[in-house]
Amino acid sequence: MKDNKTQSASPMPQENKMGVMPIAPLLAGMAVPMMISMLVQALYNIVDSVFVAKISQDALNAVSLAFPLQNLMIAVGGGTAVGMNALLSRSLGEKRQDQADQAANTGIFVFLVSAVVFGVCGFLLARPFFLAQTDIKPIVDYGTDYARICLGLSIGIFSQFCFERLLQSTGRTVYSMITQLIGAVINIILDPILIFGLFGFPRMEVAGAAMATVFGQIVAAFIGLWMNLRFNKDIHIRLRSIRPDRAVVREIYRVGLPSIIMQSIGSIMTFGMNKILISFTDTATAVFGAYFKLQSFIFMPVFGLNNGMVPIISYNYGAARLDRVRKTFRLTAATATVIMVIGFSAFNLIPGTLLGFFSPSEEMLAIGTVALRTISVAFLLAGFCIIAGSMFQAIGNPLHSLVVSICRQLLVLLPAAWLLAQTGKLDFVWFAFPIAELMSLTLSVIFLRKTMRDAEEKIGALGN
């Protein structure tokens, strides 16, 4: 009787397309909308900086120095989403509807708690964070305003993360794309209005860029919630179920915590690089900030491809269909590599044109041209490494991703950059990026072979 009641409360959906549809069209259908939405995300990230750069280089530096804080929010949101989606997709593949619903509802609770924590930290720690990097007053003032708004109203970014990833985890990437597009378009429209005070609005400068960002995120979050309630029939969101479940939270963070740490390491790396670069000239930090905005046009589509791959891998691993897991990985890795080759070509052929979006000085152009050409060598290896890292996470073995990320960014990249900086030649510092990526590739290949062997043994044992 208990089983019958459970089934009645949470009806079992039919076989999800992730288990039966041919891999190439399945991956295209799930990843292309995400790649488009990620490109739009990259566009509005650049638009922020393009408009802010028109205020002054100090304003651009403030936004650049705020990146580690924004990246930390993305790390927590993205990592939590990885854990939630992996558990949800795997549960659907195993036909465990109740566990899939618990993953969704508990995930919503965890995201809300994260928003509260970051909101408090933003108001208390923003100014000390900037003072730890520079004593240039305009940069500190601009950066404090920007960070307090972005973190203080982080309910937008965390809710958007949650509801978009719930749509992704069940294969409804078109709906997820729509929510991201709407949020990005709102941001792009509001940026010049709030930054420069158009149409009767007050001139808010850097704070206006932050307000445009959070308003777009909040609107996108509401639309994402509505789309899940209206169209996502594979999960059942219930207000009374949005509460902590110890076992589910533990499983979400078992997979998601390494991803959070990995991406948080990116914040540490960026903070450290900014400290190294500003010792040469504050223009170097502006270049580094511009680079991060530009490279998002290359990396964001790969992350979108990645987001399309993860639920397919998790679902088919849960369903013990290892052949589909392999096919999905190979196709995704090959596509990511092609994207990265295109990015490498653009950064080498037209670096001046790309930097021209940021109203650069002659010094910024000279430094930036060398930086873009040197750093982009790492792109040729990065595509495979990114996809391999998500492969580890998708089948519930995230420790390998964590080890690769720590080694790449903390044990190789930052020490290499510091050592190269001791030569007194800024141009040498950029070589730390391809050096670190080579190490990342080596470890990724080793761990990928081990991961696939372990998966074969586990599925073979279950079959016996």
pLDDT at 314 exceeding the cut of 90: no
Contact 168, 151 (CB under 8 A): no
pLDDT band for 464, please (50, 70, 90 cuts): very low
Identity of the residue numbered 417: A
pLDDT at 325 over 60: yes
Q: Find out whether 89 and 169 touch, Cβ atoms under 8 Å.
A: yes
List the structure tokens of 410: 């903390």
Return the pLDDT at 246: 85
Q: Residue 452 pLDDT > 60, yes or no?
A: yes
Of residues 168 and 364, the one with the higher pLDDT is: 364
What pLDDT does residue 3 have?
44
Q: What radius of gyration do the chain's Cα atoms show?
A: 22
Supply angle C-alpha 346, 352, 354, rounded to 5.
Answer: 55
Looking at the predicted structure, is the pLDDT value of residue 2 above 70? Answer: no
> In this model, does residue 293 exceed pLDDT 90?
no
Average pLDDT over residues 292-302: 87
Q: Tell me the backbone φ, ψ of residue 267, rounded to 5 degrees.
A: -65, -40
Q: Which of 13, 10, 50, 78 is nearest to 209 (CA)?
A: 50
Model confidence pLDDT, tens digit, residues 5-62? 444 444 444 556 766 678 888 888 878 877 887 777 677 667 778 888 888 888 888 8
What is residue 8's predicted lDDT score, i.e. its pLDDT? 42
| CA distance readout (Å), 124 to 63, 147, 149, 209 | 18, 11, 12, 21
Give residue 460's pLDDT band: very low, low, confident or very high (50, 70, 90). low
The DSSP secondary-structure symbol of 15 reads P
Residue 313 has pLDDT above 90, yes or no: no
**Residue 146 pLDDT:** 93
Question: What value does the mean pLDDT take over residues 95-122?
Answer: 89
More confident residue, 18 or 425: 425
pLDDT of 157 over the 70 cut: yes
Tell me the average pLDDT of the chain: 86
Of 101-110, 206-215, 241-250, 352-361, the range with the lowest mean pLDDT is 241-250
* pLDDT confidence tier of residue 1, bands split at 50, 70 and 90: very low
Task: Tell whether the model's pLDDT for residue 410 goes beyond 80.
Answer: yes
Average pLDDT, stretch 300-323? Answer: 83
381-404 residue pLDDT tens: 999 999 998 888 777 677 888 888
What's residue 6's pLDDT? 42
Question: What mean pLDDT is predicted for residues 72-83?
Answer: 87
- Give pLDDT, residue 82: 82
Closest CA to 383 of 318, 449, 321, 332: 332
Check pLDDT > 90 for residue 218.
yes
pLDDT at 368 over 70: yes
